Amino acid sequence: MSSENDFVKEIANKDEDWSQWYVDVIRKAELADYSPVRGCMVVRPYGFAIWEAMKEGLDRRIKETGHQNAYFPLFIPESLLQKEADHVEGFAPEVAWITKGGNEPLAEPLAVRPTSEAIICSMYSKWIQSYRDLPVLINQWANVVRWEKVTRPFLRTTEFLWQEGHTAHRTGDEAQEEVLRMLAVYQDFVENDMAIPVIPGRKTEREKFAGAHSTYSIEALMQDGKALQAGTSHNLAQHFAKVFDITYLDEDSQLKYVHQTSWGVSTRLVGALIMVHGDNRGLKIPPKLAPVQLVIVPIAPKKAREMVLAKAEELKTALRGAGIRVHLDAREEYSPGYKFNDWEMRGVPLRLEVGPRDIENNQVVLVRRDTGEKIATALPDLEAAIPQLLSAIQDNMLAIARDFMEENSFQAANLAEMEAIISTKRGFVYAWWCGSEECELEAKERMSATIRNIPLDQEAAGSKAPREAKCVRCGKEAREVAIFARAY
């Protein structure tokens, strides 16, 4: 049996070997495991419980904004995928192909969906006839497959889980409203449930979704200073409507093409959660998403064991009744110290310690995962104290992540300044950009920094950028501030 220190030593130090730390935490907290299938992971029960909590928070918001769930086929005939030129060009290199069904070769290969625009558009062209059929507001929870060369659990895997919204509207204005509405929904979920601050903004032409008119994203900053795109929302305009012939008869008796959007977030968010909140003791899960919000660890010498366990059981029942997700760790084969480490590794927000002396004093000790603070709490106060503490932890985690993002947001007036930052501290670099692809590309080639997005709130972005509105690379007059960063 490993000692307390061995337990923590089993993961790399995050400041020394960040990549190793990341996979160690995933393995040690039993979030996921490698599978015998190239690039595919297994999401283990603890990791899946986090994803289920995320799904719940997102699904509720998606339904509250008027969307309904549906399910479309996993397979897309090659000819459908090829209809929209930019779309197929973007996705073809990543597609897994079915060429045999049963024991017969197929007449036409089937793509395993890398995203579902093509198959969904083929249905919309059937379903949408009149302006009365609009808007169509559909979401799908599904698995998708992209044949990736280099994979990392949660961040980039051949198969991953996501939701993809696909909507059709009467006007371009309505579609654009929807695009920004869903971006705001993502921001609300990621900030309030995941305790991760993000910057919403527009992607550049180079970085937009294959087939989209424009793409918007929310961008988060990981503790290693690299950015992670946490969600995207696309305005497809009429690109797909024209090739899939999705038309409606408008009130004025004119046949018109619909305006479409699509938007999605994926299991990638679990990777963000690890990389924003984790520390050298393991995961930290925000209380709103924690499968276990409070773990009870009984601390009992052998002769008091029965009495302490009985008290622990009683507390578990009472706290569950109060709506708190409680686990009682009654394992006999592990020491309390081992259990402390184990549940810290799993990121449980609160630990409750109870021993014979505590029972005598009619109290327990609560320990916060975020600060390590120990709080002796009288039993009569417990049910009121825990929700308050969970709420304080949630707020504190967001505040810490926000401070980190602020402290790691820099400005650069030219590429040399940018390079100095990117090569030492990384982080978000706010800089003016003239809008040319040439200038964008030079930052990428020189320091692997891409434009994450052009923040929607240009006023706030401007206040973080150099005073002179001149392009960071060519020095020409610039109208917009962009965020540059290295990214996952």
Residues at the interface with its own copies (CB under 8 A): 33, 35-37, 40-45, 48-49, 51-52, 68-77, 80, 92-103, 109-110, 112, 119, 122-123, 126-127, 132, 138, 142-143, 145, 147, 149, 158-159, 161, 333
Alpha-carbon span 153 to 39, nearest angstrom: 8
Note whether 416 and 472 are within 8 A (CB).
no
Two tokens at 170? 């009467």
Name the minimum Å distance from CB 147 to its own copies. Answer: 4
- Complex with its own copies: residue 78 or 442, whichever CB lies closer: 78
Please, what's the b/e burial string for 326-342 (b: 16 or more CB within 10 A of its CB; e: otherwise)? bbbbeeeeeebebbbbb
Residue 121 Cα to chain centre, angstroms: 26
Cis before 135? omega within 30 = yes
DSSP state of 21: H
Name the minimum Å distance from CB 113 to its own copies. Answer: 10
Name the minimum Å distance from CB 373 to its own copies. Answer: 31
- Complex with its own copies: residue 149 or 302, whichever CB lies closer: 149
Three-state SS at 312: helix
Alpha-carbon span 297 to 311, nearest angstrom: 11
- Complex with its own copies: residue 97 or 488, whichever CB lies closer: 97
Two tokens at 438? 């040439």
Name the minimum Å distance from CB 73 to its own copies. Answer: 4
- Complex with its own copies: residue 274 or 359, whichever CB lies closer: 274
- Complex with its own copies: residue 130 or 448, whichever CB lies closer: 130
Alpha-carbon span 155 to 134, nearest angstrom: 35
- Complex with its own copies: residue 73 or 475, whichever CB lies closer: 73
Name the minimum Å distance from CB 56 to its own copies. Answer: 11
| Degrees to nearest 5, angle at CA 160 with 154 and 163 | 110
Name the minimum Å distance from CB 12 to its own copies. Answer: 21
- Complex with its own copies: residue 51 or 430, whichever CB lies closer: 51
- Complex with its own copies: residue 80 or 451, whichever CB lies closer: 80
Three-state SS at 194: coil
Residue 90 Cα to chain centre, angstroms: 22
- Complex with its own copies: residue 59 or 442, whichever CB lies closer: 59
CA separation, residue 294 to residues 266, 344, 352 (Å) = 27, 11, 7
Alpha-carbon span 264 to 211, nearest angstrom: 15
Note whether 234 and 179 are within 8 A (CB).
yes
Name the minimum Å distance from CB 190 to its own copies. Answer: 21
Name the minimum Å distance from CB 157 to its own copies. Answer: 9
Name the minimum Å distance from CB 50 to its own copies. Answer: 11
Residue 466 Cα to chain centre, angstroms: 30
